[in-house]
Amino acid sequence: MSTPRSAIVTGANRGIGRAIAERLVADGHRVASIHRSGTLPDGVFSAIGDVTDTESVDAAFTLIEAEQGPTEIVVANAGITRDQLLMRMSDDEFEAVLNTNLGGAFRVARRAVKSMIRARHGRIVLVSSVVGLYGGPGQVNYSASKAGLVGMARSITRELGSRNITANVVAPGFITTDMTNALPEAQQEAYKAAIPAARFGAAEDVAAAISFLSSDDAGYISGAVVPVDGGLGMGH
């Protein structure tokens, strides 16, 4: 059992973020979410905010920290896709994905480390994707944003590792959520054929890895990329 901590998960209103927040509550942590819509699981404190907007992120942190104390665990989960073939990809499609997935993680981590440095304790987990290192057709924007998180976590590790702050990346494969349900049936079957586990994962599988990386036991793990992908991306 880990020491109870103050945790923030972005985008806990649905999908993987929701499962992460539920798991951290079950682990005994005080959990809040910065989310822009929807409702949160029981026991999760709500701060409406948009990860593409620095003022909104900073205001949400202030609200949350007044409620549950300085942030010790942060999970940058909020993410979007705007798939398109490279030749047809607009600047808007590229920039929106980079700004949410990579820029959002940056804004959240930047604000979180202010509290973590003072507390001399921090666990930062960035939710990437198998596609970050494996690549995906039609996903130049998305895979670039998710690969960028690896450099971000490793730079945070080098910058703040001596302050008892860890930064790790979790790279889910295909997880059953709104994001994967939106894929055409034939594409879903093709992906399953490529996954050694021969099935999609569950949001709870990702939450379990994040629970561990957020725990006291994971204090000597930093800059790691932890796959939760049924073996799909191994070797990458």
Ligand X SMILES: NC(=O)c1ccc[n+]([C@@H]2O[C@H](COP(=O)([O-])OP(=O)(O)OC[C@H]3O[C@@H](n4cnc5c(N)ncnc54)[C@H](OP(=O)(O)O)[C@@H]3O)[C@@H](O)[C@H]2O)c1
**What residues act catalytically?**
142
Bridge partners of 35, per DSSP, are 48
Site for ligand X in 125-144 (CB under 6 A): 127, 129
Nearest distance from C-beta of residue 221 to ligand X, angstroms: 20
Nearest distance from C-beta of residue 67 to ligand X, angstroms: 19
**177 part of the interface to ligand X, by CB under 6 A:** yes
Reduce the DSSP state of residue 236 to 3 states and report it: coil
Would you say the C-alpha torsion 52, 233, 176, 167 has a positive or negative sign? Answer: negative
Binding string, 106-125, against ligand X, x = CB under 6 A?
Answer: --------------------
Nearest distance from C-beta of residue 35 to ligand X, angstroms: 6
**11 part of the interface to ligand X, by CB under 6 A:** yes
Which residues, other chains included, contact 24 with Cβ-Cβ below 8 Å and sequence gap of 6+?
Answer: 7, 9, 31, 73, 75, 207, 210, 211, 214
Element housing 225 (H / E): strand 225-228
CB-nearer residue toward ligand X: 27 or 229: 229
Candidates 67-75, 109-117, 173-181, 213-221 — which segment interacts with ligand X by CB under 6 A? 173-181
Would you say the C-alpha torsion 18, 20, 26, 28 has a positive or negative sign? Answer: negative
Element housing 49 (H / E): none
Q: Which residues form the interface with ligand X (CB under 6 A)?
A: 10-11, 13-17, 35-38, 50-52, 77-80, 100, 127, 129, 172, 174-175, 177-180
